[in-house]
Structure 1
Amino acid sequence: MDVFGLSPGTYFFVTEGGSGTIYINVKGKKSAVKWSDTKNYISTIKATTNTLFSSDLQNPLHATHEINYLDPFGRTEQTIQYGVTPALNSLVSRKEYDRMYRDSCSWLPAVCLGSKNYVSSSDFKKHILELYNDEYACEKSFYDGSPLNRLTEKYNSGKDWHTTGHSERVSYQTNSGVSQVRLFEVSGEKDNPVLSQKGFYATGELIVEEKKDEAGLPTLTYTNKLEQSILLRTISGVDTLDTYQVYDDFGNLAFVLPPMAVSSLQTLGQKDALDLYAYQYRYDECNHYRGKKLPGAEWIDMCFDQDGKLLRIRDEAMRNRNEWKCIFYDKLRREVVTGIYKGLISYNFSESVDFAPDKPKNHYGYLFSSYLKMDSLNIQKVVYYDTYQYKKANSCFTAAMDYIDSNDYGHRFGDDSEQLNCKNLQTGVMTQVIGTDQMLCTSTYYDYFQRPVQVRSTDINGKMHVQNMAYDFCDHITASNDKVENISLVQTKTYDHAGRLLTEARLVNDILSDTLRYNYDELGHIADVKRVNGNHSLTSINRYNLRGWLTSIESPLFSQKLYYTDGIGTPCYNGNISSMTWKTSANPDIRGYRFEYDLLSRLKNATYGEGEDLSLNVNRFNEQITGYDKNGNILGLKRYGQTSANGYGLVDNLSVTLSGNQLKRVDDSVSGSAFGDNFDFKDGAKQNTEYFYDANGNLSKDLNKKIINIQYNYLNLPDRIEFEDGSSISYLYDAAGTKLRVVHSIAGNTTTTDYCGNVIYENRTTKTLLTDAGFVSLNDNKHHYYLQDHQGNNRVVASQDGVVEEVNHYYPFGGIFASTSSVQPYKYNGKELDRKGGLDWYDYGARMYDAALGRWHVVDPMADKDYSWSVYVYCQNNTIKYIDPDGKQVIPVPMPYAPLPFYSPITYPQSYNLLSDQQIMRHASGKFAEVGQIITDTPRMSYAFGTLLYYQAKNAISPEYEHQRNRERKSKEELDRNQANVAKSIDTNVSGMMPNGDPAPKRELKTWQKIVLGVTWAAVTAKDYYDHFLIDSSVASQSSDGQQRKSIELYRSVNMEKDNSLILTPIKNRLDESFKKNW
């Protein structure tokens, strides 16, 4: 069958009746548009609208079009994003190479008139100067003179950096005798390792990579001959901060010694130093974790199966109660049930549960092994995939949970009996309210394209929440409706041709409306946001430097300016903010801070001032850190503030005593307190020990706040806080860690606050509806808008008429000073501040933050992602540059962005887990199922596609493969025979990842992994052995069902048009053999 003259697109050919083999010879139209006669290029077009005409694909309003121009060596020389800017101009970026074919100069994008043609170097630089007014709008890279082509220096964009020598630098050397490196060894068994020090490394034994940031601050990484990172060293003046990583004989990370652990080995002794400061890990016979111990906490026990799936985990509190948190998987290795089991259970016990809602002994639709005593299993969470038949086995999924169609939104595909379209999708969830028997239920329904169009769920009060969504061609949400009882929030969104959010209109309860309008500059940054409500509008304008760093926010009610290398502070070239100023309409006087940092970029001094040069009313609200320990714990803090109606002075002079990383006592030498309701530390106790912690490292008593007891659930979230005067605060969370209810019983008054999605109830009465721009007060149906600074701190709250209702000014560590009356609780970083009972904690989700002390009171849930810092340190003590969005991660302050135009489906958090086979299959380009069908149906696969699939499959199946193979090659070249044998021994062990999440030695490939790699390698290498393998199509092989199936006929078909040549390569039947041969 010959098909000619097809335009670009996707076509389907369907045959009916009979059986046989159909060969299709397809010849498409060659593009009539040629962008260059002298340059090689790759043109990529992606439709963004549902157009029926191929001519529309050349219009940027209907399709994105990217052209990569290549030099004669196939390297990208210039990239044009045609018509992508708001004004339909093109963004052009350019790369230059040195004589050794290395990246030499990468330019920032320039804005050119809407053209797809190659832009000459001279014209490009003219556009750069017009846009940035900076001839150094590029990144320049320099390399060493060795064959390794290692990067030694890099100048990032900006004249202030290029002309002053502020570059990022890397040097490579070996260790010397001057800077000694301790040699630690691990003996004993894997499940009980013993640490010992065997002197120091000899000179030249280690590779040292020294990196200096743009401020010249050095970080040294020491690596041994097995390419294991054994030491991270930072330098603070004459002092060094060392973090050691110590491995056992199998390459498993057994100990991590942060700086305080190293310095305390001699003073405290090894046992106490390890208990207070070190990270310790134990492994089973398969090199899976058997336990880990975080600093200041007791051991966490873990059990894994042979595939690296976490089966059970428990901390010290659960161990004392003889409990395990158990995780159960279905046949496809997906987490489906989580529960708390009380009683004895075999370490090696492992089973998968079966979904059988019709069986009489099922529990929430799943059948468990008879080995378990189900009366001892408290099921916390149940997840359903692939089907809606779970409704049969659960009474909470009433008729009210069934899908109800809505004409204004997306439509479900099929019904509850339809299973094909929801394969591998999460269709239902049941989550227990911790400490109760109540289960919260959620059902999610999908359209034909597997996008969620309706979510129905119950809240803690038994009310039904319904969310409907509609999408455009690019899967952006264009309309949504969130409804609970008589409260509804309807949102409609529009986007420009590049997918940028333009407008977001809201309608509350069908009567209250407002609109957010976003405008962008030509580089895609948000230029301004306009809040429109009837005849009133409020606009915020953003400005950026050439690096995209925010420099100012301007609005009639709040304005802020940020300075980096300029301004009145000490210039900072590494991204630290040197000074900032702000003002509000309530008080037009300019306020600001000048910041000083130590050599580790930790905040030392924040000097307050007023006026353009901050020379007026200086020092009124200073915050000064007088000392840190080597782990970053604050040892001393001075805070200035208002002491009377007209007086200002020192309100806090804190001296902090620690036990390990944990607080022992805090003394304030200032007897007075801040004036009014301003923030300061309340020194409520004078005892030797004022802070107490439980076995998991959670604060259990704070005598300064008169807290005599804090109880936690198994997620280390607070259950109850009890005060000395009989007051208390009680919390309810679900099993996913979502806060549902807080009950304040303060001085005989009880207030119950329920958090139900974006609706907040107080004493069972609706109070607030949270929105992207602020909140709606439901008692009077009025909008209130947040005006935020660069960190997302709510500085001003304005009514829908533009009247200022609340003003907040913040210390650098989050305390509030000089605020007006408070109309809502969301303050610093947009987090809820609880001041009742004198608690004064911010709720970040995973942890509570104490701004008066500048630290957390609970161990970091992701502590072993960054070993060098204390598990209680807040934002690495640089609270101007960093934020912590959820209490689990530190990130640089993000650039302002519009609310993300997509919906995040409900997912089940995979805590402590290694990737399952099912997850790996899903992540490996997301298309293995389709690829498998292609391989089954046809012997033809393009060489290019096979190569691409190979690399995707290789990285998805085992991310550490490339690193592992490079390590083996280097080991064979550089090490002697004994060292090579050790490397080989490490390589053959089974492990998933290091405790900090980094790749560990590779895992043995499973059969399906070998098949996938075999298929892809067959496609890649087929060209080499094409002439050596030819299978006669007349030869038949016997299939598993007894029917004859013709073997794959290998042949070669080449399109003679040179520019469109395509080699169709064969796929061998013996895939495993092909894999072994070529790998």
Structure 2
Amino acid sequence: MNLRFVFSLIVSLLSLLPAAAQDLTRNWIRERIFLDAEGKECVTSVQYFDGIGRETLLLTDGLSPGGDVAGALTGESFAGRTSAKWLPATGLTGFDFLTPERVKSLAVSSHEGDSVPFSLTRRDALGRVSSVRNAGGDLAGKAQLSDYTVNRAYAPVKRYCVDASGKLASRGMWREGTLQGVLTSDEDGISTEVFSDLRGRKVLERRNGNNDTYFVYDDAGRLSFVLTPGMQEDSNLLKHAYEYRYDRRSECVYSRIPGCEPVEMHRDTAGRTAVVRDGVLRKKGRSRFILYDRFGRTAVQGTCNGFPDAPKHAAADSAPDVANGFEDTGYFFKGISFSGIKIEQVFYYDDYLFLLSPAVAECRESGFLNVSSPNPAKGFQTGSITAVSGGGFVYNALYYTPEGRLSVSKTVYPSGEKLSERTEYTFTGSPRHRVFALSHGGLTDSVSVFYGYGSNGALVSKDLLVNGHDSRRVASLSYDALGRVVGNTLPGKAGRIAYSYNIRNLVTEVAGKGYKGITAYTPGRFNGSPSSATDIYSPAPQTGASGTDTTRWRFSYDALGRLTEAEAVSGDRKHTETTAFDANGNITRLVRWADYAPMLNTAADVLYYTLDGNRPLSISDRGVNLAYAGSFDFKNRGRSGEYAYDGNGRLVSDPYKGMTVTYADWGTPEKMTFDDGNHTAFTYTASGEKLKTEWRSGAANLRAGEGSVAVQAAVINSEELFGPFVCRDGRLDKFLFDGGFCELSSGVAKYRYFVRDRLGSVRSVADEDGNVLQQNLYYARGGAWGDVCTAPGFQSYKYCGKYLDRKHGLDLYDYGARLYDPAAAFWTSPDPLCEKYYNISPYAFCNNNPVTFIDPDGRFIDTAWDAANVAMGVTSFVANVTAGNIVGAALDGAGLIVDVAATAIPGVPGGAATAIKALKVANSIENVAIANYAKILPQKAELVDKLDS
């Protein structure tokens, strides 16, 4: 009887399965991700498998906000030597299994008839990848190739070692056949060969057959030296080599990057960096200490006198208490004997007892940091105290929802301003409503941001409400069937920003009010770098002018993929840049063309660089000095001399700008003083967040940065940043949001919208009446076309969306972690993460290919197509990841079919890959201002810890 009941139950359950529209004769897994608490809305995906468990067809309705079903096919040969991954096919009507032929046909039609909507991977007999042919008929005959080799006598590999005294030594050459090599080349033949020894340690990276980076290990197998390509031409270790030393536990306690003084560390018994000093702190006789709580989380960071040993008990004995504790922080540590302590950062976790500590009591608005009945926050950071250059602290408290999502952030600034941010979430963890409120000068201004999502959780709209009225939809996104943003409709007559792509998801066209940019990647190039481009500018409607201004670009590269020429021709005008490099990628010569009325096509800059290792030592300019208003070129102003740097490689003196620079202990610029009496002062937090810029002009000459000189009385101007709010000269000026800003200075909200190119550079600014308020044209390396740009002073977010400061002739872009000089085309300090790119100079900009790569915050290189996703305003994934909600983030692309496209096109992002990089890019002005605008990372510890992993 029981068996009959069980059999009947099974039959009854099986009878329900056909309603799910899956083929019961095939293997499949169905996944549903629900978007609301009632279970009414969900994203469904069905993965089919063949008879031996290999993936064949993936179907999902989560690709586009419209809920249309799309499918992607994976095919593999019987032996697994060849596999094909097809791009998504649209136009499906359900989740029934489709034959491979049907899916392939739909894939072709879904990608504008391209006969190759798939990538093809081939493997050798050992299962190693030998070639990858990416999607697109325009790549016919082009593939990424891999060959497995050994070292040969005709291409010798030097053999280095570390002698008994810890110094670099040479042992001749590696014998032929003793190293294993992997030679890879992209579609354009740019090659990299990596040789490893029998222990699997990388010995050499060889690019283009002769650009060599060597890795040298000691007898214990620890990386001790990295010899950059320049070392093969100049054997100066201090200028061209990275060096690492270790203690008896094989933990790195000494590191040095080329051209900088070493960083020394003491580690505690848990192997964590406890005391560290760099070249600048060493000169001051000070060090930086890091103390941890009992769970290994950073609790207190600051500086002290000397270079003390690491405390034996570097972890807090108890959680923060109301008692004073270490330097009134509420933390208690044993065995601490530091002197001359200056606190930089304090972090609190798990609860809110720290609000009763003496350190927080010093905040004159400490009551503002409290909320009634906070949710438990075990395991989360609940607050922080951060020092500010010039004195004072920023106090912050963080509160969470029961699900662990950040719901309230409250901040008190040294000058008394108070900023609060409240966030409400959807069921999946995406922000539904955010309210920013700034209290300043006895007034409180608030801006509410409302987010709308499609049926798959993708962001489709964003609305702003200023001080409870004047609501405006500042973004209305539309997607194609493949889930790509194809348009952003702006309010009023501001128009629509349209986007187009090629089959590999590279942005080929951006068109908005006043600007249209077209980019071609083939023919000429096949690896993702653009071969040519066209910029079309329409005149501002309010001028009544007609016609367009068209600039045609042609890009040339060397065998290492570095941009050597960006030819720009517009009618009879020429704005071309040509560059030459040394082995490390430092620029040795730069020629920049511009117009200089009445002359056209003038070589405005003919720059020759004298280098000190990787650092520019001096620059000789043999071009014409442009002196008209708005001009942009390398301005030596008749001066000569040499750049000077501190022990950490940061620029401290620029003879051509007549400028000296001082820095805070944590590395952010503090003051720039010009020889004409002007100066610019900066206020940063120890975490690297910029709070204020103050420009002081002397009573004599004021250099405006465009070549003009005026005589006026002393003037003080300032700009302060409080999250997304900007105050100008002490008054609220604007609210920054992703895609533009809202002017608030007049008391009436006036919205301004950015039209950005695929790099994220602001090309034009429009208002809701259809007026074009600003147009920007750029050289390939970020310089402005001073003879063509209109209203350049209207707003300062320019190239790659970065702030350009031209006052006093500074002409530097603020990337956050570093400042960039577009005229000289180098950074003013080394890359904090330069150990991720040993073969590239720490001062080189964007891997010397700024039309393919971007540097989101001055610390790492990313691809330009990721910047394009941010420029389009795709921020829902960013918000999800920021809030720590991985499930919500998945709804925006991760784990769905978009990742199939990403897998099918190595190196080209799709879905989650794009969105995660969008979070890294942080090119959204709103998110940059709210979160950590730039993590300067004052201690070198984390950089060295990276080597240990």
Superposition TM-score, scaled by structure 2 size? 0.85
**Which position in structure 1 is the counterpart of 2:931?**
none
Deviation at 1:866, TM superposition (A): 0.6
| Distance in 2 of aligned mates of 1:477 and 1:787 | 25
| Distance in 1 of aligned mates of 2:262 and 2:881 | 32
| Distance in 2 of aligned mates of 1:31 and 1:290 | 67
Deviation string for 1:291-312 (max 9, x for gaps)? 1001100010112224332212
| Distance in 2 of aligned mates of 1:334 and 1:399 | 24
| Distance in 2 of aligned mates of 1:400 and 1:356 | 18
**Match for 2:233 among 255, 259, 263?**
263
Contact between 1:504 and 1:517, CA under 8 Å: does it hold in 2?
A: yes
Match of 2:64, SS?
coil
1:211 aligns with 2:192: no
**Which position in structure 2 is the counterpart of 1:427?**
382
**Match for 1:134 among 109, 114, 126?**
114
**Which position in structure 2 is the counterpart of 1:401?**
368
**Which position in structure 2 is the counterpart of 1:783?**
751
Cα 1:260–1:45, aligned 2, differ >3 Å: closer, same or farther?
same
| Distance in 1 of aligned mates of 2:290 and 2:943 | 21
**Which position in structure 1 is the counterpart of 2:897?**
none
| Distance in 1 of aligned mates of 2:369 and 2:190 | 59
1:651 aligns with 2:608: no
1:501 aligns with 2:459: yes
| Distance in 1 of aligned mates of 2:672 and 2:63 | 54
**Which position in structure 2 is the counterpart of 1:112?**
91
Deviation string for 1:48-100 (max 9, x for gaps)? 11116xxx4xxxxx112111111111111111113643332212111111121
| Distance in 2 of aligned mates of 1:727 and 1:684 | 16
| Distance in 1 of aligned mates of 2:880 and 2:367 | 21
Amino acid at match of 2:170: Q
1:199 aligns with 2:153: no
Amino acid at match of 1:304: R
Superposed counterparts of 1:13-412, under 5 Å: 32-34=16-18, 35-51=22-38, 56=40, 62-82=41-61, 84-102=63-81, 104-132=83-111, 133-144=113-124, 146=125, 148-161=126-139, 163=140, 165-188=141-164, 193-235=166-208, 240-265=210-235, 273-343=236-306, 345-347=308-310, 349-353=312-316, 354-361=318-325, 363-369=327-333, 371-373=335-337, 376-393=340-357, 394-395=360-361, 396=363, 398=365, 400-403=367-370
Alignment identity in percent? 27
Match of 1:188, SS?
coil
Deviation at 1:364, TM superposition (A): 4.0
| Distance in 2 of aligned mates of 1:551 and 1:683 | 38
| Distance in 2 of aligned mates of 1:63 and 1:308 | 46
Deviation at 1:376, TM superposition (A): 2.4
| Distance in 2 of aligned mates of 1:283 and 1:744 | 45
Contact between 1:391 and 1:397, CA under 8 Å: does it hold in 2?
A: no
1:701 aligns with 2:653: yes
Higher-Rg structure is 1
**Match for 1:858 among 822, 829, 833?**
829
| Distance in 1 of aligned mates of 2:942 and 2:655 | 41
Deviation string for 1:755-785 (max 9, x for gaps)? 1111111221112221112112212321111
**Match for 1:796 among 739, 759, 764?**
764
Amino acid at match of 2:380: L
Superposed counterparts of 1:799-818, under 5 Å: 799-817=767-785, 818=788
| Distance in 1 of aligned mates of 2:130 and 2:943 | 28
| Distance in 2 of aligned mates of 1:379 and 1:356 | 16
**Match for 1:770 among 736, 743, 746?**
736
Cα 1:663–1:646, aligned 2, differ >3 Å: closer, same or farther?
closer
Contact between 1:472 and 1:478, CA under 8 Å: does it hold in 2?
A: yes
Q: Could you tell which deviates more after superposition, 373-382 or 217-226?
A: 373-382
Amino acid at match of 1:43: R
Contact between 1:558 and 1:787, CA under 8 Å: does it hold in 2?
A: yes
1:585 aligns with 2:585: no
| Distance in 2 of aligned mates of 1:392 and 1:993 | 31
Superposed counterparts of 1:1028-1039, under 5 Å: none
Contact between 1:529 and 1:539, CA under 8 Å: does it hold in 2?
A: yes
Amino acid at match of 1:207: Q
**Which position in structure 2 is the counterpart of 1:677?**
630
Deviation at 1:368, TM superposition (A): 3.4
Superposed counterparts of 1:369-768, under 5 Å: 369=333, 371-373=335-337, 376-393=340-357, 394-395=360-361, 396=363, 398=365, 400-403=367-370, 415-416=373-374, 421-436=376-391, 438-485=392-439, 486-515=444-473, 516-533=475-492, 536-566=493-523, 571-586=524-539, 588-610=548-570, 616-617=571-572, 620-625=574-579, 627-645=580-598, 647-673=600-626, 675-684=628-637, 687=640, 689-707=641-659, 709-747=660-698, 748-768=714-734
Deviation string for 1:485-510 (max 9, x for gaps)? 23211111110111111110111223
Deviation at 1:401, TM superposition (A): 2.4
**Which position in structure 2 is the counterpart of 1:881?**
852
Cα 1:30–1:261, aligned 2, differ >3 Å: closer, same or farther?
farther
Ranked by relative contact order (alpha carbons within 8 Å, sequence separation 6 or more), the top structure is 2
| Distance in 1 of aligned mates of 2:369 and 2:344 | 23
Cα 1:741–1:203, aligned 2, differ >3 Å: closer, same or farther?
same
| Distance in 1 of aligned mates of 2:652 and 2:12 | 72
| Distance in 2 of aligned mates of 1:996 and 1:241 | 28
Contact between 1:46 and 1:64, CA under 8 Å: does it hold in 2?
A: yes
| Distance in 1 of aligned mates of 2:245 and 2:11 | 61
Contact between 2:311 and 2:335, CA under 8 Å: does it hold in 1?
A: no
Amino acid at match of 1:401: F
| Distance in 2 of aligned mates of 1:658 and 1:254 | 25
Cα 1:526–1:129, aligned 2, differ >3 Å: closer, same or farther?
same
Q: RMSD of the TM alignment (CA)?
A: 2.7
**Which position in structure 1 is the counterpart of 2:917?**
none
| Distance in 2 of aligned mates of 1:401 and 1:474 | 30
Where does the alignment leave 5 or more consecutive residues of structure 2 unmatched? 540-546, 699-713, 887-940
Cα 1:365–1:638, aligned 2, differ >3 Å: closer, same or farther?
closer
Where do 4+ consecutive residues of structure 1 move more than 4 Å? Answer: 26-31, 402-405, 902-908, 992-996
Superposed counterparts of 1:863-874, under 5 Å: 863-874=834-845
| Distance in 1 of aligned mates of 2:459 and 2:880 | 20
| Distance in 2 of aligned mates of 1:94 and 1:214 | 24
Deviation at 1:278, TM superposition (A): 0.6
Deviation at 1:130, TM superposition (A): 1.3
Contact between 1:637 and 1:654, CA under 8 Å: does it hold in 2?
A: yes
Where does the alignment leave 5 or more consecutive residues of structure 1 unmatched? 7-25, 57-61, 266-272, 406-414, 611-615, 909-918, 924-991, 1001-1079
Amino acid at match of 1:91: A
Cα 1:374–1:607, aligned 2, differ >3 Å: closer, same or farther?
closer
**Which position in structure 2 is the counterpart of 1:914?**
none
